[in-house]
Chains A and B, each alone.
Chain A
Amino acid sequence: MPKTTRTKTSSDRELSNVAVEILLTLQKGARHGYAIKLDVEERIGDDFVLGSGSLYQGLQRLERRGYIAETKDQKPRDARRGRVYRIEPAGKRALESELSRMTRVLKFARRRPAEAR
């Protein structure tokens, strides 16, 4: 069967917003799920609450793509906090790529504010 070609939409982007936030947090070091959640919420501020389902779904997808991995050698202090994740080289590359895309968009928006709006 011929391969279907489809126009890419925003949902086809390499990384979702949650994934970018998770990777940004893990860049600072390995963390468990709840610590990632707190870090993201603190960075975004404005009483933002990251849903637990969204967080773990994001972690699962990043792990499947090989962008992050579970750390076996670094055990969490509290066992109930769960698995600890670290960022992988592929994850760093994907994050860099996404950040540079965002930068291009930002540059464009600042250069031509009237048209961008």
Chain B
Amino acid sequence: MAENATRAERVFRALLRFYPRAFRDRFGEELVSCFRRNRERPHFAGFCGQCRFWTHTVSDLFLTAFREWRADVPPFRLELDMHGLLTHFRFAFRSTWRHARVTMVAAGTLAIGIGASTAILSVTKSVLLDPLPYRDSERLSLIWSETSQSGFVRFPISGPELNDLRERSDTFEEFASIWTTTGALVEENEPETVALGLVTWNFPSLLGIEPVLGRSFEPAEEGTLSDALLISEGLWRRRFGGEASVLGKSVRIDGGWGFPGGRFTVIGCSRRLFVSSCRAMPGWLQISTFSSRSGTTSPPSRGGFITSER
């Protein structure tokens, strides 16, 4: 019983911590003394009596502790009626108006701070947190050839090297390559400079880029100077009016760097030909036109590789 009493007293002493320190220091011992005597009263005998006792003690303690804390709050914070609130708003507005320069500096500082934080977070999210917008992007690797002797640590791999990798590598499931350049689409309307990717046949399918119209490249179209051309959905809608008759249409693209140009036949259009937010390939943004003229011949044969791990 004595042990129980001690334990109960310890619980009560712990509960006293809900009171503000000043109140606890002044009345703590007397409260414990009251608690001890109350507990022994016949009124609270038995199990039901003890339940009643604890219910009463704890509820009284919490209620009075709340009142004590509230009494410590400065009066103006308790004036939550409308009049008090409006008065405070009015006072704040007048102070702001009176010290316009301070307000401008504060607002400017806040604006710069919020803007900078938002910008940093946006970049961090897109560069570090968001996955690349490709199928199984976590399995993709970018392969470069190292030609330090020529002064290039990272240099695009040649067509023969690609063939070697395809034949001998067990590490990766599939290899695909791309050579990016620009060309001039000179068909019908005004000439338009388009970003061009010369790719192996499996490049779109490896990234999970499905055609929304027509078809993608076929294995036979690789390395044979095929004229198959896959255009982006944006280009299709803007330049060809989004009509299905674009399939099979012959278009002329004048050459750019590493690309001789010529006439191509549109075989399809894809929804996503944009290599966006790609950290390792800054020069490959906005690829709006694809051709399968890449392969093992020079010069379009050179290119970076997008590969998928096995």
Contact = CB atoms under 8 A, between A and B. Distances in A.
Nearest to A52: B34
Contacts, number: 69
B299 to A, nearest CB: 81
A56 interface: yes
Contacts of B68: 57
Nearest to B34: A52
Contacts of A57: 23, 64, 67-68
A33 B31 CA distance: 9
B30 A83 contact: yes
Interface string B33-72: 1110110000100000000000011011101110110000
Given A51-B56, A52-B31, A4 B79 contact: yes
Interface band, chain A: 20 to 34
B87 A33 contact: no
B98 interface: no
Interface band, chain B: 20 to 34
A31 interface: no
A6 B82 CA distance: 11
B87 A56 contact: no
A75 to B, nearest CB: 15
A4 B43 contact: no
Given A49-B43, A51-B56, A53-B64, A1 B26 contact: no
B91 interface: yes
* Dominant SS among interface residues on chain B: helix
A99 B56 CA distance: 28
B87 A4 contact: yes
Given A1-B91, A81-B33, A51 B64 contact: yes
28 contacts: A1-B91, A2-B87, A4-B79, A4-B87, A6-B79, A6-B81, A33-B34, A34-B37, A49-B43, A51-B56, A51-B57, A51-B60, A51-B64, A52-B31, A53-B19, A53-B60, A53-B65, A54-B60, A55-B34, A56-B23, A57-B23, A57-B67, A57-B68, A60-B26, A81-B30, A82-B29, A82-B30, A83-B30
Interface of B: 19, 23, 26-27, 29-31, 33-35, 37-38, 43, 56-57, 59-61, 63-65, 67-68, 79, 81, 83-84, 87, 91
Closest 9 CB pairs of A and B: A51-B60, A53-B64, A82-B30, A52-B34, A56-B27, A53-B60, A57-B64, A53-B61, A52-B31
